[in-house]
Structure 1
Amino acid sequence: MRSLISRLLFGLCAISPFAMAAPPGDLALTPVVTSGIGSPIAIRHAGDGSGRLFIAGRYGQIWIKPAGSSSVLATPFINLSGTAPFGLSISGEGGLLSMAFHPNYASNRLFYVHYTDGSGDTAVVRYTASAANPNIADTATAQVVIRIDQDSNYHKGGDLHFGPDGYLYVSLGDGAGGNGTDGCNRAQTLRPSQLAANDANHSDCPADAAFTNSGGSTRSRALLGKILRIDVNQTTAAGTNELCAANANGSANYGIPAGNPYAGTAGTAGNCDEIWAYGLRNPFRFSFDRQTGQMFIGDVGESQMEEIDMAAPGTGGVNYGWDLCEGTSGNCAGSTPPILTYTHTANAGPCASVTGGVRYRGAISGMSGTYIYADFCSGRIHFGVQNGGTWSSTQWQDGTDLLYTGFGEDEAGEVYLTEMDGDRVLRFTSSQTDVIFADGFGD
């Protein structure tokens, strides 16, 4: 048995902000599901103690991998194809993009999906799992939480997570067209009055008729290029407010947390209350450190640089710079710089597109605190480590065109990766592991 002093010293090392030890030599990506799913794009656990993994496929199905199984159940947990409110489109970068389980899922059976509807606009919808069969969700329970008008088939964002504060966070790209620029001025817009009416290169700036004719708000375009924070345990009554995605009468199936940076009278009058962070091009994937609560954002670059951004717990109102700057290139004055970047030249793939990852908190020796992320185009996997206030990264895998689409954790904190190209789910494994205490620290 270690002495009390040695245990205390080890505990201090475990929570140190400095760089962690090197990963073990036998660290590998091991396939855990190799069939039965099409175009996996996100992976989650329900936090209900079942050990199940839920794998979202871009075509609208969510599949369940039971604990201990190497395959998914034959019947999907839910199939949005043909049943999703306002339809489901996979054009461009659309489709079912993410899902999130309510923090109280074990008792209320509520979960949320983020997808592009039949017109390519964003929809976040709530569903309820069956009380009789926990492996089936009831499509009849669909309740639209929020809808946002999208300007093109590209830059949808698409991620969805409950933060450690219990609120739902939604990532949205700037909606720019295939040329990658934000001519409609979405990412730097905080209120509808700042929206560009049009641009010589962007005839798609105005809201589309399909969206407005189905009850969507033109004001919602001001939410693009952002991360939103909303309270799904509350609703908003009809009336005058600063909700930019509310119904025409001001009502909404969500509320605004009091701490949002532009809630109510906070900030300039007219700013969208839903906004948590802005200045993002395409935050396709973000995550929360399950130990510290820090938010990590993978923001896809245009032609020069990919970036990872970070925010301390409870820190809203941060401007990450797009489209005034890309990574550390451009006029970045007044914006918060990324903690990690890599150039398109260094990526050396057919293209470059960062897939934001997770900070590892599982049992593999030497990995605790490592931020794992990947590139969708090149298949390269990077490990980011913090040394004091500085972050640095190393390339762990020099992959091929594997189309890594999303990282996820199981209930124990082990990390998984979805690979769209091979319709596989992989897990980081090693024979060298630590004992993880109830507080999340290693022994």
Structure 2
Amino acid sequence: MLTRKAHFLTTVVALVSAILTAPGTAVAVLPPYFVDQVAFAGLTQPTKVAFAADGRVFVAEKRGVIKVFDNLVDTTATTFADLSTAVYDYEDLGLLGLALAPGFPGNPWVYVSYTHDAPPGGTAPVYRDTCPATDSCLASGRVSRLRASGNGMIGAEQVLVTDWCQQSDTHSMGDVAFGPDGALYVAGGEGASGNQVDYGQLGTPTNPCGDPPSPVGGAMTPPTARGGALRSQSPRSGGPARLSGTVIRINPATGAALPDNPQAGSLDANTRRIIAYGLRNPFRFVFRPGTREIWLGDVGFRDWEEIDRLVPATSGAAPNYGWPCYEGATRQPNYDAANLNLCETLYTAGPAAVVAPFHTYRHALPVVPGDGCRTTSGAITGLAYLPETPGNYPARYKGGLFFTDLLRQCVWAIKPGSGGVPNPRYIQPLGSTIGLPVDLAVGPDCNVYYVSITTGAVRRYVYKTGGTGGCPP
């Protein structure tokens, strides 16, 4: 979750004033008849929104607090849970993923993914949302579930998985979501530097995660180094797998791998969980309605933002999306120049050894010519599918895959093509956002919602031509 030059959440404080006071930026630029409305306000750096079937709305805040609103018109939130003691709210780190169990509230579980305020194996709080080190403080990632009773959490947090070594203050946890099969899916970043080539040589001590072939503090040099961003290639490195830079599929009650995962027979617990790897920062993902397909946004490095398509397999090796050896559809030149074995062997195997992105857009170029959005860089931070029916959005948006970019402060829709698959030849801009968007969702009113971390609000795009009726779950 970051820019190419600086972490995007570290820019929040500096940007809030500029965004809210610059001429013309306090009003979203939208097509005719669309308006941008505040749905829920008064939040503290919100990161994720989840709509319950009973009408309630849950919102995660970066600091580790979960708020709940009774319905779409409620203006006063109740605190559902406060995990701030366990959550490491620093730079790009914090409470970043939130999901409700299928059948909620009958199935009374709320799921979260967050940066844990302790090194792997440690007990929080260690840093208390600060970092006394000169570079970064070693942390970890966690997925947990919380039992709901009414509008509050009861009992203790149930930790399902702790892993995701975070040597940097960026590329931490991402989405947690349920698939149509009832499995729990989780995405996490590779925890490496956001703006330097990182194969484990960075940090004090060097190799803080203890990636092979050296122990913590050991020398990490090409061609054998397998640390830093190369953690996302750990499933093919010959040792125990890291969850960094992967998507995992787990039992929502235990955190264990499911028996129909592609490598369920492995002796390594993490390998059994992994259904995709080779990702940089797969911050947000969504399931295409009526399918098992996962569509995820992988935040780019120097040149490209990616939308990747993942069809979970039930056998064979998990698919490799190529990071850091590839960015976009081509070799990543900085990592290529480092002559690292994990990348060189992948290059020798040819482009077919990795899954090419479904769609990319390049930094410094518009997503759509003339869309009016910023082009200084990019950070894809939200995806959502709008149903074909009902709702009153114009036909050009129906069934589309919507996505947003935090740095460009815009939302676009990819229209469906053959078989309902998004066709990147037909991308339709929807408009700009107010503040920096970090999540997209479709609400029960069939409107597209976005979470604005800088304005402390969840906002929605409403098409002003009449009522929408209910939206399918």
Aligned to 1:88, the other structure's residue is in SS state: coil
Give the Å deviation of 1:276. 0.9
Which letter does structure 2 place at the counterpart of 1:156?
S
Distance 2:302 2:470 in 1: 44
What percentage of aligned pairs have identical amino acids? 28
Where in structure 2 are the equivalents of 1:369-408 lying within 5 Å? Answer: 369-388=399-418, 390-394=423-427, 396=429, 399=432, 402-408=435-441
Partner residue, 1:144: 159
Q: With structure 2 as the length reference, what TM-score do the two structures score? A: 0.69
Give the Å deviation of 1:270. 8.4
The farther-off stretch of 304-313 and 410-419 is 410-419
Give the Å deviation of 1:196. 5.1
CA deviation profile, 1:365-399 (whole Å, cap 9, x unmatched): 41221111111112022211233364235352564
Where in structure 2 are the equivalents of 1:156-305 lying within 5 Å? Answer: 156-181=172-197, 183-184=199-200, 195=212, 197=214, 199-200=220-221, 205=227, 222-233=242-253, 253-265=254-266, 272-305=271-304
Partner residue, 1:356: 382
Distance 1:38 1:227 in 2: 28
Distance 1:231 1:176 in 2: 28
Q: Kindly report the root-mean-square deviation, in angstroms, between the aligned alpha carbons of the 2 structures.
A: 3.3
Which letter does structure 1 place at the counterpart of 2:417?
N
Q: 1:55 aligns with which of 44, 59, 67?
A: 59
Distance 1:270 1:146 in 2: 11
Q: Do the aligned residues in 1 keep the contact of 2:114 with 2:143 (CA within 8 Å)?
A: yes
CA deviation profile, 1:127-159 (whole Å, cap 9, x unmatched): 1112xxx11112x32111100122321111421
Distance 2:192 2:210 in 1: 19
Q: Do the aligned residues in 1 keep the contact of 2:171 with 2:189 (CA within 8 Å)?
A: yes
CA deviation profile, 1:73-96 (whole Å, cap 9, x unmatched): 2x31111123xxxx2211221111
Q: Do the aligned residues in 2 keep the contact of 1:372 with 1:381 (CA within 8 Å)?
A: yes
Mind listing any 5+ residue stretches in structure 2 that lack a counterpart?
Answer: 1-29, 119-138, 202-208, 229-238, 332-346, 367-373
Partner residue, 2:461: 428
Mind listing any 5+ residue stretches in structure 1 that lack a counterpart?
Answer: 1-22, 186-191, 207-218, 234-252
Distance 2:454 2:210 in 1: 42
Which letter does structure 1 place at the counterpart of 2:437?
Y
Cα distance change on mapping 1:435 and 1:143 into 2, 3 Å: closer
CA deviation profile, 1:140-187 (whole Å, cap 9, x unmatched): 3211110012232111142100111111111011111132545259xx
Give the Å deviation of 1:254. 2.5
